[in-house]
Amino acid sequence: MTEQEVQEIGDKIVGVLKTIYDPEIPVDIYELGLIYDVFVNDENNAKILMTLTSPNCPVAESLPIEIEDKVKSLKEINNAEVEITFDPTWTQEMMSDEAKLELGML
């Protein structure tokens, strides 16, 4: 897979992530800064490293499944796995300027 192909797949995955919203904050999970990294290997399997706004997040069980299902729906992806981490802990500073603007924080 060429670097450009990897970049294109990464961009498609980010596009999918931007369609998934935190249930408590009306901003998508990507702009919220919940996505720490996205990896795609040579077998076109994706791994998404992410966090939640808090360990007690009401969608801690369902959100990773939704992300995996939506990313797997891309024809370029064979499988998707979400790994949740709380290191580093999410803070409001991780939000994009777009998210902060949408929430009236700018």
Q: What is the pLDDT of residue 83?
A: 97
Q: What is the pLDDT of residue 76?
A: 94
Ranges of each domain in the chain: 3-96
pLDDT-based confidence at residue 50 (cuts at 50, 70, 90) = very high
Full-model pTM: 0.91
pLDDT of 57 over the 90 cut: no
pLDDT-based confidence at residue 20 (cuts at 50, 70, 90) = very high
pLDDT of 23 over the 90 cut: no
For residues 34-38, average pLDDT: 96
For residue 34, what are the contacts with CB-CB under 8 A and spacing of at least 6? 22, 50, 51, 52, 53, 90, 94
Q: Domain 3-96, CATH 3.30.300.130 — does that match?
A: yes
pLDDT-based confidence at residue 11 (cuts at 50, 70, 90) = very high
